Structure 1
């Protein structure tokens, strides 16, 4: 199979291929040992496993789980996940195909003579895939192969002249599989099998039959089909302009090359360098696309042609727009200290090119350091927050996005989506509202847009009634369901970071302070019976936020 073409004895189907021998016929070999041998070959880099052996005395339908599992692993995990190609001789009993050639994951090979006639001994059936030339069995065949040198071999000479049976046809197919992989090593084992069966020379009745399978393996047709799977290596998209270039290379497995000619359209592309070499450098000087071709002439006179579609990436003119994510929440839940849950914050709505990369930028305006957040995007159009709450403190965060086209060109930043996330307990919103709608004798009114308070003056008892609300509950109700402006963020942070007490000042009509006090959260009554009659102004201050009201003492 792998003998070099050196004119001293014979020629191999896949000349100079590396061979790896595994002896499974030592005394006392078990089925488990055979499975281990298959596994060892795969683990040591075997691309094609040529198996000229079977269980000739086993009944039709015989299988072995250890060997089946080893074959399954070979075709699944061999060749770094592309799968090793496993080839088996069909057997020399003339009846049903022998195991393991019956395994659906292998290529099963029968034997024909040099005139295309099926040998009577060739086992056959629905499991047969291909046939290949061979000779008679019992070492009276006419296939020549290598032997151990001198007296160490089966014969005194260096060659075996009477090889035959499906044991000789199996390595022919294995050699063609090796040729295919030498041209395109990126093919999967299934793709190699398809090439071999699809290019086989049909024999017997038209199409597949149990005697010849898909036909006689055809090395030339398989190679030509494999050449069609090769591609020019390099990018399809290239940034526009003389500062950028695309680099294309011919298939690396081609050798014995006489000449190379790159054919590049004069518009919108041009060649920078590399004409006549294996590596072409080109650029786009204007927007558009092109098909670049290469003609490769081999020393044998064969001309191969490959082409590649390329297109330019122009300047980034995106104008992305984002909005509040439709599935977002108003408040976060405390406390989830054993894991994270996700919150959708914003979504990319319009003004972007889907082929460009997205760059999201987060700005955390306020968070409690004891709460844990991770800010990320889903790689598509949504910005998210992974939340682990340890406190009842709020979170204020904004995000914006721009597109990046990979050519050093980025769009302008989008609008900001800035959100205030309050914190609630695990109570339902209805339970939360009903348990907090009263404080003492005062109905809670959250309508004040400046400060967390509501107040009223009663003339009968000259009493100013002030309800200093819980600031976080007030913030939750006012800001949890809106996209925040810069002034909103400033007001919120001022309240959060302000003193815990509410400063109350009362002025008379002339602007003189006649009362000053600081109140804790809760319900308060300020006795104003000693005030003179007339208009008065109450001023409430929390952080930088101020609220004023007027009342008349009579």
Structure 2
């Protein structure tokens, strides 16, 4: 956005960060973690109070789902101002129509026992770096606020370098453009990149995969899923109550995280259908129904859970009349009380149940797919 104080366009950091997260599978270069995700580039200066607020507010207003930040500082003279704290918190709680933007920050590459100050924010997913051998990357900062780690390069943190800097020598460069030159030209594409600046967008790409299978996840739920499905690498004694200051809750596992996101989609309790609040008068609450035992297999759409049996009858009659599908009621005990779970449909496959869910949604009724085997 032209309204945001712009960073210097000559620097070479943002492009490889974005590539790790979502580079397209187009036969050229690398493929990102979420190659079908959409990209919203936002360039600004990371230490400007006003620019930081503008950047996060811009993301919220323009519909960003995930905000990946491979920038920040561990300078002991720096502290996160209230304005910046509030901007991050606002995005994490108000973005995505109240579900919260998923915000990730790189932990930092200083080999220190504290994180990038932005990464330490409680609403942030702080990402450290591990190696291809599932070891701690020596440069990756450590701390109790670390959420997870993800594979990056070992040795020293390469920020970014283009191949045209490689003259075929074996010299290490200087400043921001340090790299080991191997003498192989790759044209004008990037060939050197790593650090927590790379591990952070890798996790951001995995977050995009989670939302692709379950867009209803909140930012807090995404963080919980990443942490609970991560693999405990390193030594067992490095973890206290499941957390390590070197690895966070472990190295991210995209396969397990996506599976958990899908599981939560299938078992999520939908918004409760409005129950009957008026008293059913004598002669007005007469129902005729036939009851048979339902085999515990197949698929339906869970509509809600009710505490009053009269409300179950009222909803069952309306649903069956409107959609022509059988109503299945599961009787459960919850908090010492009997409750009734109402499921519409008893289909042999998920696709038929999904088709019914679409009809329900079109009619303004919310629900979610439910396997009758765990109803």
Q: In 2, distance between residues paired with 1:274 and 1:162?
A: 46
Q: Which residue of 1 aligns with 2:143?
A: 125
Alignment of 1:11-22 (within 5 A): 11-22=31-42
Aligned Cα root-mean-square deviation (Å): 3.5
1:122-179 residue CA offsets vs partner (Å, 9 max, x unmatched) = 111111111111124234799xxxxxxxxxxx99845322111110010011111111
Question: Does residue 224 of structure 1 match 2:259?
Answer: yes
- C-alpha spacing 1:51/1:241, structure 2 compared with 1 (3 Å): closer
Q: Which residue of 2 aligns with 1:503?
A: none
Q: In 1, distance between residues paired with 2:202 and 2:258?
A: 14
Question: Does residue 201 of structure 1 match 2:231?
Answer: yes
CA contact (8 A) 1:238 1:245 kept: no
Which of these two proteins has the greater Rg computed from alpha carbons?
1
Tell me the TM-score normalized by structure 2.
0.60
Question: Does residue 184 of structure 1 match 2:188?
Answer: no
Tell me the TM-score normalized by structure 1.
0.42
- C-alpha spacing 1:247/1:41, structure 2 compared with 1 (3 Å): farther
The counterpart of 1:112, out of the listed 114, 119, 130, is: 130
- C-alpha spacing 1:115/1:140, structure 2 compared with 1 (3 Å): farther
Alignment of 1:219-258 (within 5 A): 219-231=254-266, 233=301, 235-236=303-304, 237-239=315-317, 243-245=321-323
Alignment of 1:42-191 (within 5 A): 42-59=60-77, 62-95=79-112, 96-135=114-153, 136-139=156-159, 157=187, 159-191=189-221
1:222-264 residue CA offsets vs partner (Å, 9 max, x unmatched) = 001111011365635431797443669xxxxxxxxxxxxxxxx
Q: Matched residue of 2:316: which SS?
A: strand
- Which consecutive residues of structure 2, in runs of 5 or more, have no partner in the other structure? 1-20, 163-176, 178-184, 267-299, 305-314, 327-343, 358-367
Q: In 1, distance between residues paired with 2:319 and 2:74?
A: 68
TM-aligned CA deviation for residue 79 of structure 1: 0.3
Q: Which residue of 2 aligns with 1:10?
A: 30
- C-alpha spacing 1:20/1:307, structure 2 compared with 1 (3 Å): farther
Alignment of 1:138-537 (within 5 A): 138-139=158-159, 157=187, 159-204=189-234, 205-206=238-239, 207-231=242-266, 233=301, 235-236=303-304, 237-239=315-317, 243-245=321-323, 278-280=354-356, 306-307=371-372
TM-aligned CA deviation for residue 32 of structure 1: 1.9
Task: Identify the structure with bigger relative contact order (alpha carbons < 8 Å, sequence gap 6+).
Answer: 2
CA contact (8 A) 1:110 1:130 kept: yes
- C-alpha spacing 1:181/1:270, structure 2 compared with 1 (3 Å): closer
Q: Which residue of 2 aligns with 1:528?
A: none
In proportion to residue count, which structure has more strand? 1
In proportion to residue count, which structure has more helix? 2
CA contact (8 A) 2:148 2:248 kept: yes
Q: Matched residue of 1:225: which SS?
A: helix
TM-aligned CA deviation for residue 66 of structure 1: 1.3
Report the number of matched residues: 256
Q: Matched residue of 1:279: which SS?
A: helix
Q: In 2, distance between residues paired with 1:274 and 1:108?
A: 37
Q: In 2, distance between residues paired with 1:89 and 1:233?
A: 41
Q: In 2, distance between residues paired with 1:10 and 1:49?
A: 21
